[in-house]
Amino acid sequence: MHKMTKYTSISPAVKRAVFLRDNGCCVLCRSPYGEPVAHVVRRSQGGLGTERNVVTLCRSCHRAYDEGANLSGYGAGTTQESLYCYLVAYLKGFYPDWNRADMIYKKGMDYGEAVDDAR
């Protein structure tokens, strides 16, 4: 397995921890049908699969965040960028030192927590 794939994947342990942190609900609409599989910094951008970069979203909210689908349901003027800002603020409530740059895979870096999470 390529190292980037390993570090951007979400392990079962991370999914459990995120689900518990998020009270088993979508962090955007509070639906009880959320799944802890949404990268805030996208996996395609090297977003790590750690608790600090993953949130619980229902399918509809995940689609809105990833694809910009049905954003009108979130209120006038809602954009993918505004959803991103909301999710970052949400994570900063748990991790005050959250930083986008720290959530991106960089070749040759020691990921400590990400290594433990990926096991």
| pLDDT tens readout for residues 81-101 | 999 999 999 999 999 999 999
Would residue 111 count as lying in a domain? no
* Contact status, residue 11 vs residue 118, Cβ threshold 8 Å: yes
Q: Looking at the predicted structure, is the pLDDT value of residue 110 above 80?
A: no
Q: Looking at the predicted structure, is the pLDDT value of residue 102 above 70?
A: yes
Least confident of 58-62, 66-70, 105-109, 113-117: 113-117
What range does the domain containing 22 cover?
A: 3-105
How many independent structural domains does the chain possess?
1
Provide the 10 A C-beta neighbour count for residue 113: 12
Would residue 115 count as lying in a domain? no
Give per-residue pLDDT as tens, 36-75: 999 999 999 999 999 999 999 999 999 999 998 888 888 8
Would residue 118 count as lying in a domain? no
